[in-house]
Amino acid sequence: MAKKKNEWIEWTKALLVALGLAFIVRMFLFAPIIVDGPSMLPTLHDRDQMIVNKFSYYFNDPERFDIVVFHASSQKDFIKRVIGLPGEHVAVNDDVLYINGEPVEQDFLPVNENDANTIDSVRNDFALEEIPGNYDVIPEGHVLVLGDNRGNSTDSRMIGLISTDQIVGKASLIYWPFERIHFVGE
């Protein structure tokens, strides 16, 4: 009888350790997310299931073109691409991204209207001063984010700059659907 009781205690301990480790991994290291909507086409598709790397920004700041998940509100997380960094001025004119007045290539955007993933060829020109907050440059501790599908994305043009405190993590891996498994940004 004592042997069975010890076995139950050992199994209970193992289960509690496993649950504790799963909790730590989920809370501090990685989290699953499901892409909701077409705002990141053609890079991410609606219903793609991804892993978010929560610890990458403990040690490094977000970099230009990172795909990040952030708290847009207390109920909703968004996934967008970092375009502007602190100290920079951002503008888009005639589909060309300008950082501090210099054009910057965006290889991830749909290339032409015959592209099956192209939803809307209109990119909605703007300058940093026109978005909520009326900034001349992006302040420290903030980034400007845009969806890859600029004609169909709620992003910094509407909601303003994103505080780095709002960022949950960096989108790292698409794991479902099976045929789309790959590391993002690699």
Give residue-wise pLDDT tens across range 12-58: 878 877 777 766 665 656 788 889 999 999 999 999 999 999 888 88
Residue 114's pLDDT is what? 46
Asked whether the predicted pLDDT for residue 101 surpasses 70, the reply is yes
Asked whether the predicted pLDDT for residue 118 surpasses 80, the reply is no
What's the average model confidence in pLDDT over 156-184? 91
Give yes or no: 4 in active site.
no
Active-site residue (options: 4, 5, 13, 39)? 39
pTM higher than 0.85 for the full model?
no
Determine the topology of domain 30-183 in CATH.
Answer: Umud Fragment, subunit A (2.10.109)
Report the mean per-residue pLDDT for the chain.
85
Give residue-wise pLDDT tens across range 140-159: 999 999 999 988 899 999 99
Active-site residue (options: 54, 80, 156, 170)? 80
Q: Which residues contact 131 (CB under 8 A, 6 or more apart)?
A: 144, 156, 157, 158, 160, 161
Domain ranges of the chain: 30-183
Give yes or no: 56 in active site.
no
